[in-house]
Structure 1
Amino acid sequence: MASAEKLFIENNGGISFSWNDDKRSIDLIKLVREGIPYPEFAKILDFAPFTAKEWAKYLNISSRTLERHREERKVFRQQQSERIVSIYQLLHYGRTVFENQEHFYTWMDSVNIAFGRIRPKDLLDTSIGIDMVRDELGRIQHGVLA
């Protein structure tokens, strides 16, 4: 199994967002297809500002199922693994754009006019919502604010 840690953590201990090269993309596809084991997901929990209830919503599972994954060290299904990778990459991108983790997390938790007065973190339960947040971060990064 491809190691989530190997894919997410660079040699210097920093988090890697870049996955545009073909080799890395193939590794991520393999990881998603095999599923992310809960112990690897637990490392992401330390990085992300979300509660277990929020993660359960994002992964479209109950809080109890998420708890069972933890207790039994289960592997997430493909769809859930893909969502974990997408959110992880989004969080890293946002931290890069804001150049400050705390400011980014405050933005994620704030009502946003661009999203119809919805908090960005409330959009992470769908791939469309993740794409919307990523697009908005791109606009912020390039100074295109509406």
Structure 2
Amino acid sequence: MTVRMVNERLGGYGVLKHRVNTDFDLAYLATNGVPKASIQHLASSIGMDPKEIIDLLPVTSRNLQRYEEEDLLSNVVSDHLIALADLFSVGVNVLSKDYFKSWLTSPVPSLGNECPIHFLKTHAGIELIKTELGRIEHGIFA
């Protein structure tokens, strides 16, 4: 995980109100919560609608409506948002922003012709997609 890239995708110091330089800083954020505004920043960084990101999080959109932009998300939601930011950083690095966004919603034969985005609701699924991106990066199209 590139801490700097995750930090930028979540809005940086201006949104997080915390310096993120190390994995320890990310662990601190996951434990203590990231602001709701980070969802918008993550969505914007990849060119997605925030609703698409919210659909991937372990929280209902109705519950999130009660939050102000600066309110901190739970540690479970924050941890998942950080994992998505990491995955998106890897994906953009491997495929480019536009192609990665398209790839997420296209059937992939090595994933049983499922769209990668369908796997992003769990950490196991995120790791599966990161592994797939690693294969692509190294020219292994299984």
TM-score strictly above 0.5: yes
Q: Is the 8 A contact 1:7 1:27 kept in 2?
A: no
- Residue 115 of structure 1 is matched in structure 2 by 111
**Within 1, Cα distance between the matches of 2:26 and 2:59?**
22
Q: Is the 8 A contact 2:30 2:78 kept in 1?
A: yes
**Within 2, Cα distance between the matches of 1:7 and 1:93?**
10
- Alignment of 1:144 with 2:129, yes or no, is no
- Alignment of 1:8 with 2:1, yes or no, is no
Deviation at 1:50, TM superposition (A): 3.7
Percent identity for Structure 1 against Structure 2? 28
Deviation at 1:127, TM superposition (A): 0.5
Aligned positions, number = 130
CA RMSD of aligned residues (A): 2.6
- Residue 94 of structure 1 is matched in structure 2 by 91
Q: Is the 8 A contact 1:52 1:63 kept in 2?
A: no
1:1-146 aligned within 5 A: 8-9=7-8, 24-69=22-67, 71=68, 73-98=70-95, 100-146=96-142
1:105-142 CA-to-partner distances (Å, cap 9, x unmatched) read 11111011111121101111001100010000000000
- Which runs of no fewer than 5 residues in structure 1 stay unpaired? 14-22
Q: Which runs of 4+ in 1 moved over 6 A?
A: 4-7
Return 47-56 or 120-129, whichever deviates more: 47-56
- Which runs of no fewer than 5 residues in structure 2 stay unpaired? 13-20
**Within 1, Cα distance between the matches of 2:90 and 2:53?**
19
Return 37-46 or 128-137, whichever deviates more: 37-46
Deviation at 1:7, TM superposition (A): 6.2
Residue identity matched to 1:84: L
